[in-house]
Amino acid sequence: MVDHATAAHGGTAGASNGSDAALFAFGGSTVFALILVGAAVVLPPQPVSALPSFARQTGQPCSTCHSAFPQLTPFGRRFKLGGYTAGGTRCGPSMPGDAALQIPIAGMTIPSFTHIKKGLDPADTPKGFNTNDNTFVEQTSAFYGGQIYCNLGAMAQATYERPGSDFFLDNTDIRYANNTRLGGTDLIYGITANNNPTVQDPWNTTPAWSFPFVAASDALAPTPSAGTMIEGTFSGRVAGTGLYLFANNSLYLEGASYGTFGTKTLEALGLDPTDPASRFDGLAPYWRAAYEKDWGSYSLMLGTFGMYANVAPIGNQSAPTDKITDVGGDSQFQYIGGVHALTARLSYIFEHEALDGSQLLGLASNSSDHLESLKISGSYVYNGLVSLTAGYFNIRGNADPLLYGDSLSPMNLGSPNSNGWVFDVAWLPWSNQGPSIYPWFNMRLGISYTLYNQFNGASSNYDGAFRNASDNNTTFLYAWMAF
């Protein structure tokens, strides 16, 4: 699709542009720059788990911060907003008798089995994999999770993923946080440097940590082509700094600014700078506001989040850009009792796309489009051990045959519409207490089923080659292990 000569040329012009933006976005956080420059960055949206290194540091079982990982409890939210530092001993010399340093390193691996209703076309199947019924280790990660020094902490994940055999710096969130008390109100405030908008969010309603928490690789089980910008488009390809405030355990406010890397940086990191629509011009603002109220065991959160970016359609920031605005609203209801825990989540994102750049390049049919993404899910967790989750998703918007080139249904050409359900049943045997031989072992053994009513615009023959939406229905077995 992309002319390499053009991309290389345009890239030179865009390089300084993007680097400057990223540097501005860093603010004072040189630490993050060091890490990102020192490490490779590619990032498909993938989940992380209850980190054994967090458990080691806080002295708490996983179930204190997770109803069923990676869903957070109010304590989990505070631990995250507090900069992952609670319980850390990495700050000043100890007094006699105080505990020694904990090791902030953890590992994770996800062996899995993926079955789709109708196997893939051999031409679409990754090399070395079957057209259907694949059993393999989908992801293996190493983490730094916990305090770095005093009020500075991080959750950083390096992942090796298949198919594709990619090594990349996955979700990374580095924070400096502190607490104080102002006029009778507890305040947690801090600064976050991260590489994926919403990865810093403490609720499981925003894209980075939303349900489904773990899913089959999209190379082996097709997923809808359309999605809003904030739902993972920039993950790992951007750096941003945000300032946040959490007042009285209820009001959360955050403002952040993201910048993309320049072409040369991306190339040096082994990333494809021409990867369509994954870079933007200048800085992209991100905002988040949420209010959580609790009544004993019950809590209700109402919030909003969003992002604006001048997206470069083919990665060339000096060419005309698309102006993309995402505005989201979300809500979470949580009940955490002694034995039972219930969580209901709602997220709605409206995206307005002014496609000046794409239209000029012949990549979009319309000058502006809109797209909506709705996600509703509910989880029940029994005693931290068994988790049942059901979720509904609906992506819809106006048709644009050039932009949504995969939507080839003769009846509904160029429609981004997809909707369906995801069901997940999981067993977490060591959520409350790890096995005695190695107490830091944690596991989520689960099976999920994804059902599509509509896929890329149609329920039948969505690709013009007689593939139906239900052919992509996916059964996914996983053993999500952290140690």
Partner 1 sequence: MQVRNLRSGSLVVILAIVFLGFCPAVDKNGAHRAWGDSAYGASRHPDRQDSRGYREARGRGLRAKMQYCEDCHGAEGQGYRGFLPIPRLAGQTPEYFENQLRAFVERRRGAHFPLNMSKVHGLGSETQRALAEHFSVLNPRPFGRASRRLVSTGKTIFEAGMPEANVPACSVCHGRAAEGSGPIPRLAGQLYPYTVKALVNWDKERGQGGLNNGPSAVMRPIAHSLTNSQIEAVAAYLSYLE
| Strand, helix or coil for residue 358 | helix
Q: Give the Cα separation of 460 and 189 in Å (integer).
A: 51
Could you identify the residue written with the tokens 């190695």? 438
> Closer CB to partner 1, residue 337 or residue 435?
337
φ, ψ for residue 148, nearest 5 deg: -95, -55
Could you identify the residue written with the tokens 């979009």? 364
Q: Minimal distance in Å, beta carbon 263 to partner 1?
A: 13
> Closer CB to partner 1, residue 129 or residue 425?
129
Q: Give the Cα separation of 106 and 84 in Å (integer).
A: 14
Q: Minimal distance in Å, beta carbon 108 to partner 1?
A: 14
Q: Minimal distance in Å, beta carbon 453 to partner 1?
A: 19
Q: Minimal distance in Å, beta carbon 240 to partner 1?
A: 17
Angle (CA) 337-48-26 rounded to 5° is: 115
Report yes or no: 197 and 256 within 8 Å, Cβ to Cβ. Answer: yes
> Closer CB to partner 1, residue 38 or residue 410?
38
Could you identify the residue written with the tokens 């980190």? 51
> Closer CB to partner 1, residue 147 or residue 389?
147
Report yes or no: 50 and 79 within 8 Å, Cβ to Cβ. Answer: no
> Closer CB to partner 1, residue 116 or residue 219?
219
Q: Give the Cα separation of 312 and 326 in Å (integer).
A: 16
Angle (CA) 115-117-123 rounded to 5° is: 80
> Closer CB to partner 1, residue 245 or residue 425?
245
CA–CA distances in Å: residue 374 to residues 93, 205, 228, 294, 391: 50, 11, 10, 25, 10
DSSP for 433-472 reads: S--SS-TT-EEEEEEEEEEEEEBTTBSSSTTSSS--GGGG
> Closer CB to partner 1, residue 181 or residue 466?
181
Q: Minimal distance in Å, beta carbon 419 to partner 1?
A: 16
Q: Minimal distance in Å, beta carbon 447 to partner 1?
A: 25
CA 292 to chain centre: 22
Q: Minimal distance in Å, beta carbon 449 to partner 1?
A: 22
First to last CA, the chain: 42
Q: Any bridge partners for residue 115, and if so which?
A: 475
Q: Any bridge partners for residue 326, and if so which?
A: 307, 351
Could you identify the residue written with the tokens 């005093």? 150
> Closer CB to partner 1, residue 16 or residue 89?
89
Q: Minimal distance in Å, beta carbon 116 to partner 1?
A: 17
Structure tokens at 65: 């911060």
Q: Give the Cα separation of 462 and 232 in Å (integer).
A: 24
Q: Give the Cα separation of 127 and 398 in Å (integer).
A: 35
> Closer CB to partner 1, residue 116 or residue 311?
311
Q: Minimal distance in Å, beta carbon 19 to partner 1?
A: 18
Q: Give the Cα separation of 33 and 408 in Å (integer).
A: 43
Q: Minimal distance in Å, beta carbon 1 to partner 1?
A: 10
Q: Minimal distance in Å, beta carbon 101 to partner 1?
A: 9
Nearest to 27 by CA among 257, 281, 188, 285: 257
Nearest to 159 by CA among 173, 171, 175, 174: 171
Q: Give the Cα separation of 288 and 27 in Å (integer).
A: 19
Q: Give the Cα separation of 89 and 67 in Å (integer).
A: 26
> Closer CB to partner 1, residue 94 or residue 135?
94
> Closer CB to partner 1, residue 370 or residue 425?
370
Q: Minimal distance in Å, beta carbon 99 to partner 1?
A: 3
> Closer CB to partner 1, residue 362 or residue 466?
362
Q: Any bridge partners for residue 244, and if so which?
A: 190, 254
